[in-house]
A and B are shown apart, each in its own frame.
Chain A
Amino acid sequence: MRQKLLILYLQNSALDSPVVGWTRYDGDTLAPPVSGDEDEPPYATGLDALRDGWRTIQFSTLEPRLGELSYQPGWQSFEVIMEKLVETPR
């Protein structure tokens, strides 16, 4: 079994909110990951990815952030890590 990861960054904490950033890691290929080459997200929302068979394995926690009370924005607040497992013969 090999793992494919799809990491989605959402506009808010709801899984059905729009995808504003995305990352892929594919354990089934030797090709290196590439930054900045894609113009369109793979799914419009996190829920669309779920409906396409991606299994959610981690959400960002929902809690106040250090720095927010001095009005410093953080990085991406709402990260969802999803996986698919593929059968790959050696």
Chain B
Amino acid sequence: MKRLGVGEMTCFVRDGFLKLEGLVPTDLCDAFRAAYVKDCKDDRCGRALLPVVPWSTPLAGAFGGSEVLSRVFALPELSGAIYSLLGPRCRVDHHVMHIREPNQGKSQHLHCDAMIDARDDAFDIQVMIYPQDVTREMGGTLVIPGSHTRKAGETSIARYQNLAGQVQLTGPAGTILILHHNLWHAGRRNASNSVRAMYKIRLNPTGSQTGHWDMSDYDAAKARGPKPLHSPATDKQDVQGQLSCFHPWADIRSAHLDIIQRTRLWRLLTGDEEFSVHHFLSRLENEPT
């Protein structure tokens, strides 16, 4: 497998998602559509084609009856990303197909999947796979970068139609998104003449999520080193620079708290309890006796 490096990990902690563009090869996308999309034009039809997988089934071996899904989850970049974020022996939560018919007038409301999730010391991921090209007109998934630090229950946030810096997924067939479970997202309207399909699977960790990524080029001392306040990131190794950004949709009241939450997530993934973006979290932990 090909595990994530420091650049990808800082992107995930900063934005709450990773995009693996065109990762699934063309022949496998073709096989995926033939097996799980066929002539479907709605979710119910697509879901009926998927194998039933009981929740908490280990991902390894979950798709023994599906050569297509087994091949997808054996892709070294995908299996490495899942391992990097969840650690070994992750389990399937559930999987579904989302199929949007052409020429739709309506979009989904912005939401987080499932009920509000208060966990700070663990997180699930959702893997979204697009087995056909997705153009802007086809209305790929809308995601709000950095919103994974804002805990929300389902469509409580539906009133937010547009947020500055929002990302509308586009990409060639085989593109994959990997989302933190709290990331705000929505299926945009499909204004094209083509069906849009997306396969989604939620995965749960079964143990510690610390230190499973490729830390060989990670310099913890450098990551902790002093840096001018809010100075832009100089490179992918500049962890504080990457994690101190203010996302353009964030109000100033919450933007600093986002940085505190990103710091906590970085500590979870590295095990480095001394890491702090600037002095923001370490200052709050200073309680002299």
Residues on A facing B (Cβ under 8 Å): 7, 9-12, 19-24, 31-38, 41, 68, 71-78
- In the bound complex, residues from chain A placing their C-beta under 8 Å from that of B152 are 75
Interface residues in B148-184 by Cβ distance below 8 A to A read: 149-152, 156-157, 159-164, 166, 168
With A11-B251, A12-B253, A35-B188 in contact, do A23 and B150 touch (Cβ < 8 Å)?
A: no
Q: Is the interface of A mostly helix, strand, loop or mixed?
A: loop
- In the bound complex, residues from chain A placing their C-beta under 8 Å from that of B110 are 35-36
- In the bound complex, residues from chain B placing their C-beta under 8 Å from that of A31 are 105
Digitize B240-274: 1 where CB-to-A-CB distance is under 8 Å, 0 elsewhere.
00000000111111110110110000000000000
Digitize B118-162: 1 where CB-to-A-CB distance is under 8 Å, 0 elsewhere.
000000000000000000000000100000011110001101111
Interface pairs (20), CB distance under 8 Å: A11-B251, A11-B252, A12-B252, A12-B253, A20-B249, A20-B250, A24-B161, A32-B106, A35-B107, A35-B109, A35-B161, A36-B142, A37-B188, A38-B161, A71-B260, A71-B284, A73-B149, A73-B150, A73-B257, A74-B254
Contacting A72 at CB < 8 Å: which of B105, B107, B151, B188?
B151
Task: Give B250's nearest chain A residue, CB to CB.
Answer: A20
In order of increasing CB-CB distance, the 7 nearest A-B pairs are A36-B142, A73-B254, A73-B257, A23-B161, A21-B163, A77-B251, A71-B260
Any chain A CB within 8 A of the CB of B193? no
- In the bound complex, residues from chain B placing their C-beta under 8 Å from that of A41 are 162, 164
B160, B162, B254: most-surrounded residue (chain A CB, <10 A): B162
Q: Once the chains bind, are A35 and B162 in contact (CB under 8 Å)?
A: yes
Q: Once the chains bind, are B253 and A77 in contact (CB under 8 Å)?
A: yes
Q: Once the chains bind, are A32 and B253 in contact (CB under 8 Å)?
A: no
- In the bound complex, residues from chain A placing their C-beta under 8 Å from that of B142 are 35-36
With A9-B251, A12-B253 in contact, do A38 and B162 touch (Cβ < 8 Å)?
A: yes
- In the bound complex, residues from chain A placing their C-beta under 8 Å from that of B250 are 20, 73
- In the bound complex, residues from chain A placing their C-beta under 8 Å from that of B284 are 71
Q: How far is the CB of A4 from chain B (nearest CB, A)?
A: 14
Q: How far is the CA of A19 from the CA of B146 in the complex (A)?
A: 18
- In the bound complex, residues from chain A placing their C-beta under 8 Å from that of B161 are 22-24, 33-36, 38
A20, A32, A41, A68: most-surrounded residue (chain B CB, <10 A): A20
B249, B251, B254: most-surrounded residue (chain A CB, <10 A): B251
Contacting B186 at CB < 8 Å: which of A22, A23, A36?
A36
